[in-house]
Amino acid sequence: MNPPTIVSSLIIFNFDPVAIFTPLTIFGLVAVIAMVVCYAYESRSPGFILAFAGACVLGSIYGFLQGAWPFGAVELVWSAIAISRWRKTRR
């Protein structure tokens, strides 16, 4: 008997990428990727700090829509912190 492969395991567990990647999930994935990219480039320009704040707002919206209100609330706090940091760097 052959050992199971990744493909056979996915078939056994009824992996359905259409069911997993809903529009809401894709929105959340894009928001988190934007946060990570903007955070990585914050030292290059104050614009990335502001973009990070915007990405945090998108992450917050995702959290509330998904039903994870603590995540949504924390992301709102992070966006406020980022906006404060952006204002300080502009001076």
18 domain-assigned: no
Grouping H, G, I as helix, E, B as strand and the rest as coil, residue 63 is helix
* 77 is a domain residue: yes
List, for residues 20-71, the tens digit of each pLDDT value. 788 999 999 999 999 999 999 999 999 999 999 999 999 999 999 999 999 9
Residue 75 within any structural domain of the chain: yes
> How high is the pLDDT of residue 16?
67
Q: Which domain holds residue 49?
A: 29-90
Domains contained in the chain, number: 1
Picking from 90, 63, 66, the residue whose alpha carbon sits closest to that of residue 77 is: 63
Residue type, 9: S
78 pLDDT exceeds 70?
Answer: yes
